Amino acid sequence: MEFMSGKKRRKKKRGGDVNTAKRVVRYIKGRESVIEKRCCSKQKEKNAIPLYLFSMEEINKTTVKEFILLAFSSFHQFQILLFTVILLMYIISVSGNTVIILLVKVAASLRTPMYFFIGIFSALEVVFVCVTVPNLLSNLITDHKSISLSGCFTQMYAFNALGVTECHLLAVMAFDRDLAINNPLRYAAIMNHAFYVKVAVLPWITGFVIASIPTVLTARLDFCGPNQVNHFFCDLAPVQNLACSDPFLSSLITSLAAVFASVAPFVAIIGFYIHILIAILRIKRAEDRLKAFSTCSSHLIVVVLFYGSTSIVYVRPKGSQYDKFFALMYTVFIPLLNPFIYTLRNKDVKEALRKSLRQLRRKVSV
pLDDT digits 0-9 by tens, 204-230: 999 999 999 999 999 999 888 788 998
CA distance 224 to 76: 28
pLDDT band at 8 (very low <50, low <70, confident <90, very high): very low
Q: Model-level pTM greater than 0.85?
A: no
pLDDT the model gives residue 191: 93
Q: Are 131 and 154 in contact (CB under 8 A)?
A: no
DSSP string, 325-350: HHHHIIIIIHHHHHHHHHHHT-HHHH
pLDDT per residue as tens digits for the range 87-131: 999 999 999 999 999 999 988 888 899 999 999 999 999 999 999
% residues pLDDT > 90 (the chain): 42
| Model pLDDT, residue 19 | 57
Q: Where residue 249 falls among pLDDT bands split at 50, 70, 90?
A: confident
What distance in Å separates the CA atoms of residue 306 and residue 170, rounded to the nearest whole number? 10
For 26-58, the pLDDT digits (tens) are 655 555 554 555 544 444 444 444 433 434 444
Give per-residue pLDDT as tens, 181-194. 999 899 999 999 99
Give me the mean pLDDT over the 249-258 stretch.
Answer: 86
pLDDT at site 160: 94
Mean pLDDT estimate for the chain:
82
Are 110 and 271 in contact by the 8 Å Cβ rule? The answer is: no
Q: Is the pLDDT of residue 349 over 50?
A: yes
Per-residue burial over 69-90, b if 16 or more Cβ lie within 10 Å, else e, is bbbbeeeeeeeeebbeebbebb
Q: Assess whether pLDDT exceeds 80 at residue 151.
A: yes
Residue 160 to residue 353: CA distance in whole angstroms: 33
The Cα 122–Cα 310 span in angstroms is: 18
C-alpha distances in Å from residue 101, one per residue of 51, 207, 356: 61, 21, 13
